[in-house]
Amino acid sequence: MSMSETGSSERLHGLDALRGGALLLGVVLHGSMSFFPTQIWIVGDDQRSVWASGLFFVIHLFRMTTFFLIAGLFAHMMLARAGVWGFVKNRLVRIAAPLAVFWGPVLTAIVVVLIWNAGLQGMTAADAPPTPEYDWTNIPLTHLWFLWVLLIFYVALLVLRAPFVLLDRTGAWGRVIDRMTAGLIGPWGPFVLGAPLALALWFQPNWIAFFGVPTPDAGLIPNTPALVGFGLAFGFGALLDRRRDLLGRIQAWWPAYLGLAMGAGTTALMLAGGSDPHLVPMTDPTTKAMTAAAFGVATYASVFAAVALALRFFGGHSRTRRYLADASYWIYIVHLPLVMAAQVLVQDWAMAWPVKLALVVGGVLTVSLASYELLIRHSFMGRWLNGRRVSWRRSPEPALSPAE
């Protein structure tokens, strides 16, 4: 289907804004981690609050699953437009190449901040832990893990699509799949889509419930809950591109999705420890099963709610939102060492934690946006990361984004 046939061109502006917002929320998410009641982060601020961990919980619940759903939709769109070889070339240039180029410098910058903070804390080389032995199961992908996982899902999309295209010459299978996709749009959808994720979480050994889907940032093989939860979202997004008319139905259900997300999310938070999060693996099978079920429903209800609200309130064209969506890829790549450095600077300041968090987030966004405008946007780097620039005034739809 074309955008003109579905009437969804304006809605895709909302999805592009949501994709950019999901990446930018990573700055807030990582910025909040130094204020947890129990130190879990490299930098531990002298101001701690359960509200900081609550903010992390809300963002972490939906952010990356939402990103992968949009990535699946945009990937299917690009595959239809560019063909297999055009798709492969584009993804190698705009996803694989940035991972290869930026992973080393970003990891080096993180290590530099670690050493700086250790020195401020009075630690010496003798206090350093032994150097870990790295192999394919233990590689620090840092926050750039999402690029690696995207590449895995792109390969899976191509592998699964090839036999389907060969066998579905009459379109009968496609019509069945389209009807199944439509059947998942409604308040029951998060229960169906959340069930496989809940099962994967329940079987995950040493699962710390507060963190929901474990971040697959160490090793080349993602953990099972990440493959199931993010992979299912990516696949469902690809199916939504076949039925883009369903985006209007998702938008219409936004009150139900939002209510379900709040209810299931609150239940998951309470089971995970509530205001005093239990940052230890769950051991009781019954409690673990109930918590996993709540997380499964809450994750997909919050994803549907985020998509619906973005379509409803941010569906129109906006130069500001478009600029931030374009900049979000670069900002996310460089933000983590900047966040850590800002946290080190403010960790001993006599200020309330929300003020410190605002300074960290505001400072990082200012530096990264300035670098984007001065060094990236108008150079070959901008064309590399964001693709061909299209005039905002004459383009009725968002350009293909890095998530595609």
Domain spans of the chain, in order of start: 13-386
pLDDT confidence bin for 153, thresholds 50/70/90: very high
Q: Output DSSP code: residue 125.
A: G
- Burial of residue 170 (number of CB atoms within 10 Å: 0-12, 13-18, 19+): exposed
Q: Is the pLDDT of residue 143 over 90?
A: yes
pLDDT score recorded for residue 162: 86
**Average pLDDT of span 364-372:** 96
Does pLDDT of 200 surpass 90?
A: yes
Confidence of residue 6 (pLDDT cuts 50, 70, 90): very low
Residue owning tokens 């300035």: 370
Q: Is the pLDDT of residue 403 over 80?
A: no
Give the pLDDT band of residue 137 (cuts 50, 70, 90): confident
pLDDT average, residue stretch 89-113: 95
Determine the Cα–Cα distance for residues 374 and 10; give it in Å rounded to an integer: 30
Angle between helix 319-346 and 97-120 (nearest 10): 30
Q: Answer whether residue 43 shows pLDDT above 60.
A: yes
Least confident among 113-122, 189-198, 250-259: 113-122
Q: Count CB atoms within 10 A of the CB of residue 76.
A: 23
pLDDT exceeds 80 at position 59: yes
| Gap between the Cα atoms of 35 and 47, Å rounded | 6
Cα(57)–Cα(51) distance, rounded to whole angstroms?
Answer: 10
> Cβ distance 342 to 30 under 8 Å?
no
- Residue 78: band (very low, low, confident or very high) from pLDDT cuts 50, 70, 90: very high
C-beta neighbour count of 253 within 10 angstroms: 17
pLDDT of 271-310, one tens digit each? 988 767 778 898 899 999 999 999 999 999 999 999 999 9
Mean residue pLDDT of the chain comes to 88
pLDDT of 249 reads 94
Tell me the pTM.
0.90
pLDDT at 47: 93
**Mean pLDDT, residues 93-102:** 96
Q: Summarize the confidence of residues 192-221 as an average pLDDT.
A: 94
Mean pLDDT, residues 79-94: 94
pLDDT for 129 equals: 66
H helix runs in 217-284, sequence order: 224-242, 246-252, 254-271
Amino acid found at 301: A
Chain CA centroid to CA 64, Å: 2
Judged by average pLDDT, the poorest of 41-55, 88-102, 131-145 is 131-145
pLDDT of residue 252: 94
- Run of H or E residues at 9: helix 9-32
Mean pLDDT of 196-212: 94
Average of per-residue pLDDT across 23-41? 93
CA-derived radius of gyration, the chain: 21
Predicted local confidence at residue 2, as pLDDT: 30
How confident is the model over 242-265, as pLDDT tens digits? Answer: 999 999 999 999 999 999 999 999
Confidence of residue 124 (pLDDT cuts 50, 70, 90): low
Cα separation of the two ends of the chain: 17
Note whether 135 and 324 are within 8 A (CB): no
Q: Which of 183, 324, 301 has its CA nearest to residue 233? A: 301
**Which amino acid is located at 75 in the chain?**
A
Looking from the CA of 265 toward its CB, the CA atoms found within 13 Å total 21
How far apart are alpha carbons 111 and 79 in whole angstroms? 38
| pLDDT of 3 | 34
Question: What confidence category does residue 38 fall into, taking pLDDT thresholds of 50, 70 and 90?
Answer: confident
Closest C-alpha among 96, 101, 229 to residue 150:
96
Tokens 């997004």 locate to 237
Q: Is the pLDDT of residue 101 over 90?
A: yes
pLDDT at 131 over 80: no
Q: What's residue 136's pLDDT?
A: 67
Say whether pLDDT at 1 is over 60: no
